[in-house]
C-alpha cells in the first residue's frame, strides 16, 4: 500500500522548503552561512525548529540544496545569456550585472561559499563554475591560437569572479560603470587571443 501525497500537499511542502532556502540565503548574506543555526533559519521561515527536520537533516544539507536548486540555475542562465548574439565581452558583463541585480543574496552566497568553511560546498560550487570555464574555452577555441585560448578562458573566469565580488560591494547605481570597466577588461583578455572575435564595442 503505497500512499502518495496529493499535489496540493506536495505544493505546500515545497513552499515551506523554499521559505527555508530563501531565509538561509538572506541570513547567510548577513552573517555568513557557516554561522547559521537551524533554529534561526526556521524562525525566519515561520516554522517550529522541529519542523526543519521534515525538509533537511542539518544545515550543510540545506546548503547543498541551495547549490543544486539555486546556484546551478543561476550559472546556467549566465551561460545562456553569454551565448547569445553580440560581442562576447559585452554579453558576459551584462549577464554578470544582471545576475547581481536579480539576486544579490544568491551571488553573495555563491562567491562566499566557493572559499567558505564547508569543503562539500566548495566542491559543489567549483563544479558549477567549471561549466562556465569550459563554455568560455569552447568559444575561444573557435579562433586561431587555440593553445592560448585556455589562458584567455582562465583569465576571463578570474575576471568574472572578481567582477561578481566587486559588484556586490558597490551601490546598484554604480554597477553601470562597473559594467563598462568589465567589458574593457574582458575584451582585453579575450580578444588578445583571437582578434577575429567580436570587438565592435
Partner DNA sequence: TGTACATCAGTGAACGCGCGTTCACTGATGTAC
What residues make contact with DNA under the rule CB under 7 A? 1, 3-6, 8-9, 12-13, 16, 37-40, 43, 47-55, 58-59
Query: Considering CB distances under 5 to 8 angstroms, the limit depending on partner class, which of its own copies, DNA, none binds residue 3?
Result: DNA
CA quadruple 33, 37, 43, 47: dihedral, nearest 10: 100
Contacting positions for its own copies (CB under 8 A): 30-32, 34-35, 108, 111-112, 114-118, 122, 126, 148, 151-152, 154-155, 157-159, 161-162, 165, 168-169, 181, 184-185, 188-189, 192-193
In whole angstroms, the minimum distance from the beta carbon of 167 to its own copies comes to 12
Cα 111 to Cα 28: distance, rounded to the nearest angstrom: 12
Residue 185 contacts by C-beta under 8 Å, 6 or more apart in sequence?
159
Q: Given the complex with DNA, which of 58 and 180 has the nearer CB atom?
A: 58
Q: Which three cell numbers stand for residue 149?
A: 585560448
Query: Considering CB distances under 5 to 8 angstroms, the limit depending on partner class, which of its own copies, DNA, none binds residue 9?
Result: DNA
Handedness of CA 185, 186, 189, 191 (dihedral sign): negative
Query: Considering CB distances under 5 to 8 angstroms, the limit depending on partner class, which of its own copies, DNA, none binds residue 104?
Result: none
Q: Which three cell numbers stand for residue 79?
A: 551561460
In whole angstroms, the minimum distance from the beta carbon of 117 to DNA comes to 14
Q: Given the complex with DNA, which of 8 and 169 has the nearer CB atom?
A: 8
Q: Given the complex with DNA, which of 61 and 180 has the nearer CB atom?
A: 61
Q: Which three cell numbers stand for residue 85?
A: 548574439
Collapse the DSSP code of 2 into the 3-class scheme (helix H, G, I; strand E, B; otherwise coil) and give the result. Answer: coil
Query: Considering CB distances under 5 to 8 angstroms, the limit depending on partner class, which of its own copies, DNA, none binds residue 1?
Result: DNA
Neighbours of 176 (CB within 10 A): 10
Q: Which three cell numbers stand for residue 189?
A: 583578455
Amino acid at each position: 500500500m503505497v500512499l502518495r501525497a496529493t499535489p496540493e500537499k506536495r505544493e505546500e511542502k515545497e513552499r515551506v522548503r523554499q521559505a527555508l532556502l530563501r531565509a538561509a540565503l538572506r541570513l547567510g548574506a548577513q552573517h555568513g552561512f557557516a554561522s547559521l543555526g537551524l533554529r534561526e533559519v526556521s524562525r525566519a521561515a515561520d516554522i517550529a525548529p522541529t519542523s526543519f527536520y521534515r525538509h533537511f537533516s542539518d544545515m550543510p544539507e540545506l546548503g547543498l540544496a541551495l547549490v543544486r536548486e539555486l546556484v546551478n540555475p543561476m550559472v546556467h542562465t549566465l551561460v545562456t545569456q553569454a551565448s547569445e548574439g553580440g560581442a562576447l565581452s559585452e554579453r558576459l558583463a551584462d549577464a554578470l550585472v544582471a545576475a547581481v541585480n536579480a539576486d544579490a543574496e544568491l551571488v553573495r552566497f555563491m562567491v562566499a561559499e566557493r572559499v567558505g568553511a564547508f569543503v562539500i560546498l566548495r566542491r559543489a560550487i567549483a563544479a558549477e563554475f567549471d561549466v562556465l570555464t569550459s563554455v568560455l574555452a569552447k568559444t575561444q577555441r573557435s579562433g586561431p591560437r587555440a593553445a592560448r585560448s585556455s589562458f584567455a578562458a582562465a583569465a576571463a573566469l578570474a575576471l568574472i569572479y572578481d567582477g561578481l565580488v566587486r559588484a556586490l560591494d558597490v551601490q546598484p547605481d554604480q554597477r553601470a560603470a562597473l559594467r563598462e570597466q568589465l567589458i574593457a577588461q574582458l575584451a582585453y583578455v579575450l580578444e588578445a587571443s583571437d582578434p577575429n572575435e567580436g570587438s565592435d564595442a
